[in-house]
Structure 1
Amino acid sequence: MKRRVLPSLNALRTFEAVARHNSFTRAAEELNVTQSAASRLVHSLEEYLEVPLFTRRSRRIQLTDQGTYYSRLVSRSLDLLEAGTVELMSSRAGQGTLSVGMLPTFGTRWLLPRLPSFQKLHPDISVNVVSSDGDLDFTRERIDIAIRFGHGEWSDALVDPLMGEEVQVVCSPLLVDPDRPLDHPSDITRYRLIEHSTRPHSWEHWFRSVGAELSPIDWGPRLEHFFMIIEAAKAGLGMALLPTFLIEEELRTGSLIAPFKTRVSGPGAYYLVTPQTKAGLPRVTAFRRWVLGQLA
């Protein structure tokens, strides 16, 4: 069995405090030990490493180059250990706050209507839903788990496929000229087409899938989120290409109509992405199990 080459944790904590304060006295006060005890612990660390960490001149100390390097390394490691400890303490028995990075429209239309069932199952978990649709950085965004659209390529994470996406062309019923019916998919180029800024090739994919020519297009507004595109389409600003499951209510009430019944499978899918560093937290495990259960 491999044995870790590590000095004492007390020595590391003391060294980090001395390096941060640049003072044995202030470090000793922080750690509630005597100055001589702090000095002995740092000296024992130097003996273990066989490397001088401080130069000592009169009553002043200064980090050596090796000490500067090691102090940064130890500080980052202790920060990580502290964060993990706080995480674990706050999530004992499945409690704590769960921060979910969620695509805005997906969160509004799919997650929020279902969330009461999760809260009923886990009343001790507070859920914080964060609007999040850019590159995933769990540390920077301070989120525990996320739902993303893509191709399942996220490193250092558990990636669970949730659902594919079928899209169809929709518009306001007031937009279509009754004297010029839409008989063929290429006929929609008589109208402005609303663009999704983060999916720039979606219309191209649709035209190719239905076997229509991508003729010159009169582009309408270019919008960032599906909920913006839904509202723009309802306002008559153009034809929109939208996932069917996000517009079921609009299609039911007639505020949006589908000129063609054709639905096209999108090139990506929705995924639940869980960072490996948080996959074992009870609150994260509970949410992951619940989401996958919703799609069973």
Structure 2
Amino acid sequence: MRGRLLPSLNAIRTFEAVARYNSFTRAAEELNVTQSAASRLVRSLEEYLQVPLFTRQSRRIELTDQGRFYNELVRDSLDLIEAGTVELISSKEGKGTLTIGMLPTFGTRWLVPRLPSFQEAHPEISLNIISSDGELDFTKERIDVAIRFGHGEWKDAIVDPLMGEEIQVVCSPKLMQGEHPIISYDSLRYHRLIRHSTRPNSWDHWFRSVGAHREDQQWGPTLEHFFMVIQAAVAGLGVALLPTFLIEDDLRSGTLVTPFTDRIAGPGAYYLITSAAKSELPRVKLFRRWLLGQLA
């Protein structure tokens, strides 16, 4: 069986330092070696790869095109190794930083208000919450767990269903007091329908579910996050279709009203997604157990 095709890791480390400083002298100082030793290691790497990584002109050096390509690859790889090393050291006995990739509005309105109980139970764990709602990549985003909306289809991960989604039509009270109050499904044709960019078919799903015809509808703004959709509806930019649990405070305060009593099950659910590679880390196991317990 063929082994890995890898150059000397010491040469790789030296090349990255030289490329970062654009100097053999400064790289040698960081690595605590002589300048000639650093130069020899980079030369050996070039000979192994059979491509020049630097152009050398008197006292100046500059990365070649091949050198720039290889430097990006090496830098990213060393960053991952360093991050993994720090993580393992800091994760002893459950300590360290838990990084959560979070849907922005779900995080702000549902998870964050509940996190004090987790922090109180596990003060040794630091929390790092980042906005994350695109394609899920644990390595690239450097996250331990994520919360996503979908249908439970994520590879190389442990997927736990959290909750479904109940959606309803809401608008500003100003629209109900205007020339065309929303008193029937047909009334919607006088108003702009606000759309969520990651849920482009939500309105079609709602019209089918309530048995209404979507004719002559006007489209309002398309927005990326639910908190933007909520604010657009509050401002009177149109009629919105929103998950009930995200707008409970707005409905209680009266900044949003519901023209219809219909509450429809949304086409999907929220899931906790845990990186399979990190699932046994103490801090990850503690958070997963705590979050699922919140829904028990």
> Which bracket does the TM-score occupy, shorter chain normalised?
0.7 to 0.9
User: What is the match of residue 186 of structure 1?
Assistant: 185
CA distance in 2, matches of 1:155, 1:261: 38
The change in CA–CA distance for 1:157 and 1:254 in structure 2 (over 3 A counts) is same
SS where residue 113 of structure 2 aligns? helix
Partner of 2:212: 212
Find the residue that maps to 2:154 and give its secondary structure.
coil
Pick closer, same or farther for the CA change 1:166–1:75 going to 2, 3 Å: closer
Provide the C-alpha distance between the structure 1 equivalents of 2:180 and 2:77, rounded to a whole number of angstroms: 68
Tell me if the contact between 1:194 and 1:229 (Cα under 8 Å) persists in the aligned partners.
no
From the superposition, tell whether residues 248 and 79 of structure 1 become closer, same or farther in structure 2 (CA, over 3 Å).
closer
Q: Is residue 2:143 matched to residue 1:143?
A: yes
Q: Contact conserved, 2:99 with 2:127, CA < 8 A, in 1?
A: yes
Distance 2:255 2:33 in 1: 71
Contact 2:151 2:269 in 1 (8 A): yes
- Residues 13 and 189 of structure 1: CA distance in aligned 2, closer, same or farther (over 3 Å): closer
CA distance in 2, matches of 1:143, 1:106: 17
- Give the aligned residue type for 1:191: Y
Q: Deviations over 1:159-187 (max 9, x none)?
A: 1110000000011112114776544x522
Q: 1:157 to 1:188 in 2, by over 3 A?
A: farther
CA distance in 1, matches of 2:189, 2:27: 74
For residues 294 and 165 of structure 2, what CA distance do their matches in structure 1 show? 16
Question: How far apart are residue 117 of structure 1 and its match?
Answer: 0.6
Divergent runs of 4+, >3 A? 26-34, 72-83, 177-183
Aligned ranges for residues 1-296 of structure 1 at < 5 Å?
A: 82-177=82-177, 182-183=182-183, 185-198=184-197, 199-296=199-296
Q: Which whole-Å CA distance do the structure 2 matches of 1:211 and 1:277 have between them?
A: 46
Q: Structure 1 residue 280: deviation in Å?
A: 1.5
Q: Deviations over 1:124-156 (max 9, x none)?
A: 111111111111122222222110111111111
Q: Which runs of 5+ in 1 are unaligned?
A: 1-8, 18-25, 35-71
Amino acid at match of 2:185: S
Number of aligned positions between the proteins: 292
- The answer as to whether partners of 1:196 and 1:225 remain within 8 angstroms in 2 is no
Q: 1:236 to 1:33 in 2, by over 3 A?
A: closer
- Maintained 8 Å contact 2:180/2:190: no
Cα distance in 2 for partners of 1:127, 1:147 equals 15
SS at match of 1:111: helix
Contact (CA 8 Å) 2:196, 2:226: kept in 1 or not?
no
In 2, Cα distance between equivalents of 1:223 and 1:80: 34
Separation in 1, partners of 2:97, 2:132:
17
Distance 1:76 1:220 in 2: 42
Q: Offset of 1:209 from its aligned partner?
A: 0.5
8 Å CA contact 1:168, 1:244 repeated in 2:
yes
Residues 175 and 181 in structure 2, CA contact (< 8 A), matched pair in contact too:
no
**Matched residues, percent identical?**
69
Structure 1 range deviating more: 161-170 or 174-183: 174-183
Q: Matched residue of 1:143: which SS?
A: coil
Q: Which amino acid aligns with 1:176?
A: M
Aligned partner letter, 1:258: T
Cα shift readout 1:223-245 (whole Å, capped 9, x = no counterpart): 11111111111111111100000
1:186-235 Cα shifts (integer Å, max 9, x gaps): 22423323333421111011000000011111111221111111111111
The C-alpha deviation readout for 1:52-102, integer Å capped at 9, x for no partner, is xxxxxxxxxxxxxxxxxxxx9999887655543321111112111211111
Using the size of structure 1 for normalisation, the TM-score is 0.74
Report which stretch shifted further, 190-199 or 168-177: 190-199
d(CA) in 1 for partners of 2:75 and 2:219? 53
8 Å CA contact 2:193, 2:220 repeated in 1: yes
